[in-house]
Amino acid sequence: MISSLELGLKGKVAIVAGGGGPLEGIGNGRAAAILLADAGAKVVVVDKEIDLAQNTVDMIKKRDGKAIGIAGDLTISDECKKVVDFALENWGRLDILDNNIGIASKLSVVEETEEHWDRVMNVNLKPMFLMSKFAIPAMISSGDGGSIVNISSISATRPKGLTSYSASKGAVLSLSQAMAVDHGKNGIRVNCILPGPVYTPMVYSEGMTESHRSQRQNASLIEMEGTGWDIGKAVVYLCSEWARYVTGHLMVVDGGCSLSARPRG
């Protein structure tokens, strides 16, 4: 069994942006928050609604982890600063930022409205910029560098439509690598995860037939369905001491979907 000492996360402070969720569903952010806490980190769970953040906090505390929740609209600069200040006021330092916030769109450029295009870009990219803007100085002042993980999508490199979503997630790749270049000298590692079609509340809350779910599963080369836990485990690795020499990396976590010509729904 891997100990929290081996991972080097015990006593670290992590912000998980978009770490909340309804009831018991396990999304990418919630899984990352729970697993970071399991590894010994103190976790600040952020969601737009405090009840959603608190659901995750309660799950962490049931596993004897340490977590606190805060509400914030992370498309707003002052709200992002408030979250970072909250982490510093409660736990005195900041070491990790996991950026999970995102919304989908299924329209082509012909079908897409300008208003919705702007919303997708604003929600999927701006929080990563703003949270990092305030988190990086806090990490530097904490004295041990830090780790930032941004969540993109395999749609960034292998689009299947979802045009504005794919464009926004492609920008996340470039942002992550540019940040890695800018802040490596400060001891801050920045990496990006590209999930495949994982089964999360964001996916199934709008309804999904068994045939559609089976199609997504069979798109994997290993015919396996991914979940939020798979993405959360990748986050823990990238934030851990095991990945101390990894930065600017684009980590695909998709069961081989992006190598396959099989339809993924």
Question: In the β-sheet with 96-99, what is the strand arrangement from edge to edge?
Answer: 66-71, 42-47, 13-17, 96-99, 146-151, 188-195, 250-253
**Residue 230, exposed/middle/buried by CB under 10 A (0-12, 13-18, 19+)?**
buried
Q: 213, 201, 206, 193: which is closest to 254 by C-alpha?
A: 193
Answer yes or no: 165 catalytic.
Answer: yes
Nearest to 52 by CA among 100, 8, 92: 100
Both structure tokens of 265: 């729904």
Q: Which of 165, 176, 199, 240 is catalytic?
A: 165
Dist. CA 116–CA 120, nearest whole Å = 6
Instruction: Give the Å distances, CA to CA, from 42 to 21, 133, 138.
Output: 19, 21, 15
- Least Cα distance to 101 among 22, 48, 176 occurs for 48
R_g of the chain computed on alpha carbons: 17
Q: In whole angstroms, what separates CA 95 from the centre of its chain? A: 15
Q: Can you name the residues that pair with 97 across neighbouring β-strands?
A: 15, 148
Is position 152 annotated as part of the catalytic site? yes
The owner of tokens 């069979």 is 218
For the beta carbon of residue 239, count every other beta carbon within 10 angstroms. 29
Give catalytic status of residue 160 as yes or no: no
Those residues whose C-beta lies under 8 Å from the C-beta of residue 107, and which sit 6 or more positions away, are 116, 163, 164
Which of 105, 152, 164, 168 is catalytic? The answer is 152
Catalytic position from the list 105, 166, 169, 220 = 169
Where in the sequence numbering do the catalytic residues fall?
A: 152, 165, 169
